[in-house]
Chains A and B, each alone.
Chain A
Amino acid sequence: MPSLSAAIAASASGLNAERTRIEVAVSNLANSESTRSGSGGPYRRRDVVLSSDGVTPFEGTLQEAGATGVRVAAVLEDQTPFKRRYEPSHPDADKDGFVALPNVEPAEEMVDMLSAARAYQANLTAINLVRDMLQRALELSR
């Protein structure tokens, strides 16, 4: 029998992944006007890549059905072209007066954040349900 702690571990990995997605979406939004970044040029939008991952608790090797957790496989830069805006007075404008701006779409980030927040809530609900079950199992001894 898979242990309930494996369920909590899987849900915790889900919380972690969704939190990372929210963090990345927030930093994309915050940098939607940053024309300079560490790698030179404007900020590039970042994307989280998730991959499913078997959670193996202590007794995991003895079982067929463990819980499937999730992990952040990579945070990649979005390679779509930068947006361009005509603003000759801007210090980073090119010789034609155009400024390259980050390839961040605020609407896209908001949708990402909403879906991550929903998934985060679902994982929290799952943890609460499992916790209630553990509690009830403890009550057997009363």
Chain B
Amino acid sequence: MADIRDSAIIDALRRQMSIAAAKQVVAAGNLANVNTPGYHARAVDFTAALERQMGGTLSLAGTAGGHLEGTVSEAVSTEEIDGLQPRRDGNNVQIDRELLTMSGAAGDFARAQTALAARFRMVRYALSEGR
């Protein structure tokens, strides 16, 4: 258990919440354009998101003993979704698909939030010396 630090867990949960928020933003943009001719639905670039979830490539260097290490959250990139059948006006947004993405992201967010809140409660408990 020595190498599972509090900050690593909190960081991972924070990243999960960031990705859920990014998914939400992109799906909201797709939904807003459900009637725009020629618009193509976009999604959060999964590989980039996964890479960041696994620790990312950018990290803060700890050059002295007292420094905190951690990863820098980069901008989230998006890509067009392949394989969706476009309508006659060239638009391929599907309302149900986007709403499903949004509910899923909201669920992810809630799950990470619950775990994070529990972590914070433990820290508060320790700070108040168990009172």
A and B: real partners? yes
Which residues of chain B in 14-54 are interfacial with respect to chain A, using CB atoms and an 8 Å cutoff? Answer: 17-18, 20-22, 24-37, 39, 42, 44
Stretch at the interface among A35-43, A67-75, A78-86, A100-108: A67-75
Q: Tell me, yes or no, whether B71 is within 8 Å of chain A by CB.
A: no
The binding surface of chain A is classed by DSSP as helix
| Interface: A52 (CB within 8 A) | yes
Contact B17 A137 (CB under 8 A): yes
Say how far B42's CB is from chain A's closest CB, in angstroms.
7
State whether the Cβ of A28 lies closer than 8 Å to any Cβ in chain B: no
Across the interface, A8 reaches (CB within 8 A) one of B28, B35, B102, namely B28
A139 interface neighbour in B17, B95, B102, B113, Cβ under 8 Å? B113
A4 touches B24 (CB 8 A): yes
| Given A62-B75, A136-B109, also A67-B35 (CB < 8 A) | no
Cβ distance B105 to chain A, nearest Cβ, rounded Å: 8
A62 CB to closest chain B CB (Å) equals 7
Q: A140 to B119, alpha carbons, bound, how many Å?
A: 10
Q: Which residues from chain B contact A142 at a C-beta distance below 8 Å?
A: 117
- Partner of B113 from the list A13, A68, A119, A137 (CB cut-off 8 Å) is A137
Residue on B nearest A1 in the bound complex, by CB? B18
Q: Contacts A11-B28, A129-B106, A132-B106 given; indicate if A65 touches B22 (C-beta within 8 A).
A: yes
Cβ distance A72 to chain B, nearest Cβ, rounded Å:
10
Q: Which residues from A are CB-within-8-Å of B34?
A: 14, 119, 122
In the complex, what residues of B have CB within 8 A of residue A18's CB? 35
- Considering residues B18, B99, B102, which has the most beta carbons from chain A within 10 angstroms of its beta carbon? B102
Chain B 53-86 near chain A by CB (<8 Å), digits 1 or 0: 0000000000000000000010111100000000
Q: Which residues of B contact A (CB under 8 A)?
A: 17-18, 20-22, 24-37, 39, 42, 44, 73, 75-78, 95, 98-99, 102-103, 105-106, 109-110, 113, 116-117, 120
A-B contact pairs, 24 of them (CB 8 A): A1-B18, A1-B73, A3-B21, A7-B25, A17-B35, A50-B37, A65-B25, A66-B29, A68-B32, A68-B39, A122-B31, A122-B95, A122-B98, A123-B32, A125-B102, A126-B27, A126-B28, A129-B24, A130-B24, A133-B24, A136-B109, A136-B113, A140-B113, A140-B117
